[in-house]
Amino acid sequence: MATTNKFDRINRWLTLGANIGVVLGLIILIVEVRQNASLTRAAMEADKNAMLANIELSMAAPATAEAWAKSVRRPEKLTDAEIRILEAHLVAVMLQWDQLFQMQSIGLVSKERVEHHIHNTAPFYFGSAFAKNWWRSEKRGWEGTQMMSVAGPVVERLDERFLEKRLNRIRLDDAHPLAKGDVAPLETQIDPVTASPDLYRVLFENQHIRVVEYAIAPGEHDNPHTHPPKFMVVLASGRLKIDIGNGETIISEEETGAAKWTAARGLHTAENIGDTTVRVLLVEPKSAQAAEGVAP
């Protein structure tokens, strides 16, 4: 009897040890799977970035750049050969998006990550009458896919003059403060109303304050400017990407009704990367006395 009990105890311990071994094996397997997923994600992200870099480098070639500029400014003047060059680049952009869809399908990236990337890149490749017309001609081949359900609405909503307006905005004329070259950019005060009169509108102004309305539609991008200390109220929320220089960007997603005092901001630009027009009311004190009347 004693021998039987001893064997039972040994058997139970062996069974417990085997179960623990199985659990440890599963844990190790899970860790390895996650590590492999991380490595796969990193490799595919690197491929995606390399593809985008190659597209940009290819478009910077003199002949291609000239064809691209013509597609933005004078699309009716494009030759068949130039259309073929531009078409290849648009296809490459769509293939990059398709790679992200594939990554989403196997769980490597989220749906939000894919949509965010498409929202960010679409205006810079499809923001012209030529590119949007080309997109419409290719829709049939992508019907029923994520390309049409996700990217389709984004491209259709784009301003077909986005790229033309962007070229106009980033070109500095002789009257622009930064074009003079004798003032350090960070020390230059550039009135946003002067820099982007189509986006900033003065509603009221006296010797104490200035009230400005800022309205920026999806895909729009304002010109470099600065802000004095101000009180701001968000009239309509959205998603802005603010470029503060040196390769640094800030994503602003203030809620409708948000109100706050903000310090002076140096030279920067903003781009609407969301789906809705962002509207903000800016109240700029002109004196210390006026500023003291605004709660910090």
Percentage above 90 pLDDT, the chain: 30
* pLDDT at residue 60 greater than cutoff 90: no
182 domain residue, yes or no: no
Residue-level pLDDT at 266: 85
Does 174 fall in a domain? no
Mark whether 162 and 192 lie in a shared domain.
no
Segment 71-87 mean pLDDT = 93
9 and 144 housed in the same domain: yes
- 129-138 vs 111-126: helix axis angle to the nearest 10? 120
- Percentages helix, strand, coil for the chain (3-state, rounded to 5) are 55, 20, 25
Buried residues in 85-112 as b, exposed as e (16+ CB within 10 A): bbeebbebbbebbebbbebbeeebbeee
pLDDT tens figures, 142-176: 888 888 888 999 999 989 998 998 888 877 655 55
Dihedral (Cα; 41, 218, 133, 153), 10-degree rounding: 60
Residue 177 lies in a domain: no
Range of the domain at 32: 2-166
Q: Is the pTM of this model over 0.85?
A: no
Residue 184: the pLDDT is 39
Task: Answer yes or no: do 161 and 208 share one domain.
Answer: no
Q: How confident is the model at residue 106 (pLDDT cuts 50, 70, 90)?
A: confident
In contact, 277 and 219? CB cutoff 8 Å? no
Six-digit token string for 158: 């784009």
Domain finish residue from 133, 166, 199: 166
Residues 120 and 237 in one domain: no
In a domain, 7, yes or no: yes
Confirm if 258 and 234 have CB atoms less than 8 A apart.
Answer: yes
Answer yes or no: do 109 and 239 share one domain: no
| Structural domain total, the chain | 2
Q: What percent of the chain has pLDDT over 70?
A: 74
Contact present, 125 and 97 (Cβ < 8 Å): no
CATH number for the domain that contains residue 281:
2.60.120.10
**Residue at 234 is within a domain:** yes
Residue that is written with structure tokens 């998603």 in the block = 239
Owner of token pair 């220089």: 245
| Residue 84: Cβ within 10 Å count | 11
User: Is the confidence at residue 218, as pLDDT, over 90?
Assistant: yes
pLDDT value of position 185: 42
Query: Which residues does residue 227 pair with via DSSP β-bridges, in sequence order?
Result: 265
Which of 113, 133, 166 is a domain's end point? 166
Same-domain status, 18 and 103: yes
Geometric angle at alpha carbon 18, from 16 and 24, rounded to 5°: 100
Tell me what the mean pLDDT of segment 224-238 comes to: 90
179 in a domain, yes or no? no
Domain membership of residue 180 (yes or no) is no
More confident residue, 107 or 290: 107
Question: Do both 109 and 230 map to the same domain?
Answer: no
Average pLDDT over residues 201-221: 91
pLDDT at 102: 86
Distance CA 261, CA 272 (A): 22
Cα 8 to the chain's mean position, in Å?
Answer: 66
Q: Among 220, 46, 188, 216, which Cα is nearest to 123's? A: 220
Checking if the pLDDT of 186 tops 80, the result is no
Q: Per residue in 27-52, pLDDT tens? A: 666 655 555 556 555 665 666 666 66
**pLDDT value at 128 more than 90:** yes
Residue 240 scores a pLDDT above 90: yes
Q: Which residue has the higher pLDDT, 217 or 1?
A: 217
| Summary mean pLDDT of the chain | 80
111 and 34 co-located in one domain: yes
Residues 108 and 202 in one domain: no
Specify whether the CB–CB gap between 83 and 75 falls below 8 A.
no
Q: Is residue 118 part of a domain?
A: yes
Confidence grade of residue 183 (pLDDT, cut at 50, 70, 90): very low
Claim to verify: residue 207 and residue 127 sit in the same structural domain: no
In which band, very low, low, confident or very high, does the pLDDT at 78 lie, cut at 50, 70 and 90? Answer: very high
Same domain, 6 and 138: yes
Q: From CA 134, how far away is CA 199, in angstroms rounded?
A: 29
Q: Which of 101, 131, 166 is the last residue of a domain?
A: 166
145 & 278 share domain: no
286 φ/ψ angles, rounded to the nearest 5 degrees: -105, -5
Average pLDDT over residues 226-242: 91
Amino acid (one-letter) located at 47: D
Q: For the chain, give the number of residues.
A: 296
- Model pLDDT, residue 259: 85
Residue 273: partners with Cβ closer than 8 Å, 6 or more residues away:
116, 119, 120, 218, 239, 240, 241, 251
Which residue has better confidence, 129 or 107?
A: 129
pLDDT at residue 117 in the model: 86
Beta bridge partners of 214: 200, 280
